[in-house]
Structure 1
């Protein structure tokens, strides 16, 4: 079968790329002036990289592509278009476009997407909202949204999520609550939450976890509980807990914990 030689004559670029370039609105301007390149910088390409390069070079053109039929072109254009033009895309049919919109809107406007059907849009919104607006998303049906809320809520509002049904949300709360407020999580149903509590709780609260049925919780509690509560752990069924209790007591004899 005949093959084309490497040095065979090439068709003119405009002919080879027609009609994509031939009927492009920029054919007589940007293309003619070398400001775009169908192989690398092209708004009509089906390549996100080429489209992004185009708008990076020509951001003034982005607003005119916000109603394009190709979702990726709209999404990329939304990164570069003026903010007033982008607000019209809050109801765009594609979730990727709405995610871009949510990332650009100011908090006061982003709250309009707080009930978006796409969880990634709502997660983006939760990252954007002002602290006083966050509580409105504390009951979101997706736990990952609530995790973001728990990461950003002020300490005074965190207890409102302490009874969340999802372990990851409560773990976030346990990491952020002040030590004196961790008592409400001492009896959490999940051992991973109790371990975090045992590592951070006030000593008298950590002592209550020395008898926990999870040995990793007991091990964490040994490091926080008062010394006079550790004797029972010298007979713990788990070797690592016994060793930790013994080492902490021995250290206290050589270097009193309360010495200046």
Structure 2
């Protein structure tokens, strides 16, 4: 009796369990290209003769076919999205029953080939095939200092480049001017610090960042006006106090967000009127108490809520007529008893409830 994988229905000693999905073996075979032959497993004869990669016609067209007993696998690329969907379905269900392991094996073999096709070819950053015989570091391969597709400075894979420098940190100095930015960036993590200042003006921000992380803070100050906002944001995380003042008016709000969270609280008043509510919320959480009243009329309710939660019991009632019920709720919860009577008739039930509850408790 033929079984099928992908939905799937299992036939075992006359018992059929329907798992949903495709319930006809022939339909499955035509749609996903898995042909079941015969081998014996718990009373059911099953054999995988071939595997059709490519999924359904709607997903990936005709796809490609190979016999799992044939070592000559077809060339493929992982850009075949339909095949990827079919593989995912195969793997999801194949491992749940021993009877489908043959399908999983065929699938894994093909997927493995599909996904590592390019990795099998050691390529440099320009896409050229590498030849160890032509490498100046050939001698290192004999001592374990490098290995193609694992620890190689000439490969385009960042992990391989990093492993090379981990094994050979003394060689990093010579790669700080390499044409590939990934090599320069990783070399900056291992090279002598005295050589890193030249990388401050590197055209690649990853190279600049790796250099900044190891240089004195004075070098980070030079990048506060860098044209790339993401690098400015990172630089802001390294600075404190007045060093951040010039960045408090940065054109990108996420740079100002970092500044507002790190600058000295006494310097925050200049950011009270920032155009972004997220920035003002951070300001409202950190600004000195004497400045809180200056933000009770903020145009954003979330900012006013931050202020209400920080105001003292004596002055929080100033917000009892706020249009946002969350702020009135804060007032009803904390304001002096004499100032919450009007909130018993508040439009919002939660505000009325907390005000009434406090008044009733006070009268007992």
TM-score by length of 2: 0.62
Alpha carbons of 1:64 and 1:247: their partners in 2 closer, same or farther (altered >3 Å)? farther
1:39 aligns with 2:149: yes
Look up the match of 1:150: 260
For the aligned residues, what is the CA RMSD? 2.2
Alpha carbons of 1:232 and 1:89: their partners in 2 closer, same or farther (altered >3 Å)? same
Look up the match of 1:68: 178
What is the deviation of 1:4? 5.0
Residue 184 (structure 1) aligned to one of 294, 299, 302: 294
What is the deviation of 1:39? 2.3
Is residue 248–residue 271 contact of structure 2 (8 Å, CA) maintained in 1? yes
1:213 aligns with 2:297: no
Look up the match of 1:12: none
Look up the match of 1:238: 348
Counterparts of 2:227 and 2:167 in 1: how far apart (Å)? Answer: 33
Is residue 204–residue 225 contact of structure 1 (8 Å, CA) maintained in 2? yes
Is residue 107–residue 130 contact of structure 1 (8 Å, CA) maintained in 2? no
Is residue 240–residue 264 contact of structure 2 (8 Å, CA) maintained in 1? no
1:132 aligns with 2:242: yes
What is the deviation of 1:217? 1.9
Counterparts of 1:25 and 1:252 in 2: how far apart (Å)? Answer: 86
Counterparts of 1:224 and 1:113 in 2: how far apart (Å)? Answer: 46
Counterparts of 2:261 and 2:361 in 1: how far apart (Å)? Answer: 36
Counterparts of 1:56 and 1:205 in 2: how far apart (Å)? Answer: 60
What number of residue pairs does the alignment pair up? 243
Q: Which has the higher strand share?
A: 2
Alpha carbons of 1:147 and 1:19: their partners in 2 closer, same or farther (altered >3 Å)? closer
Look up the match of 1:23: 134
SS in 2 for 1:51: helix
Alpha carbons of 1:249 and 1:27: their partners in 2 closer, same or farther (altered >3 Å)? farther
Counterparts of 1:4 and 1:214 in 2: how far apart (Å)? Answer: 70
1:54 aligns with 2:177: no
More deviation, 127-136/93-102: 93-102
Counterparts of 2:345 and 2:302 in 1: how far apart (Å)? Answer: 23
Is residue 102–residue 121 contact of structure 1 (8 Å, CA) maintained in 2? no
SS in 2 for 1:204: coil
What is the deviation of 1:181? 2.4
Alpha carbons of 1:244 and 1:55: their partners in 2 closer, same or farther (altered >3 Å)? farther
Greater relative contact order (Cα 8 A, min sep 6): structure 1 or 2? 1
Residue 332 (structure 2) aligned to one of 222, 226, 231: 222
Alpha carbons of 1:77 and 1:224: their partners in 2 closer, same or farther (altered >3 Å)? farther
Is residue 204–residue 226 contact of structure 1 (8 Å, CA) maintained in 2? yes
Alpha carbons of 1:64 and 1:201: their partners in 2 closer, same or farther (altered >3 Å)? same
Counterparts of 2:287 and 2:296 in 1: how far apart (Å)? Answer: 13
SS in 2 for 1:32: helix
Alpha carbons of 1:219 and 1:165: their partners in 2 closer, same or farther (altered >3 Å)? same
Is residue 199–residue 224 contact of structure 1 (8 Å, CA) maintained in 2? no
Look up the match of 1:204: 314
More deviation, 128-137/164-173: 128-137
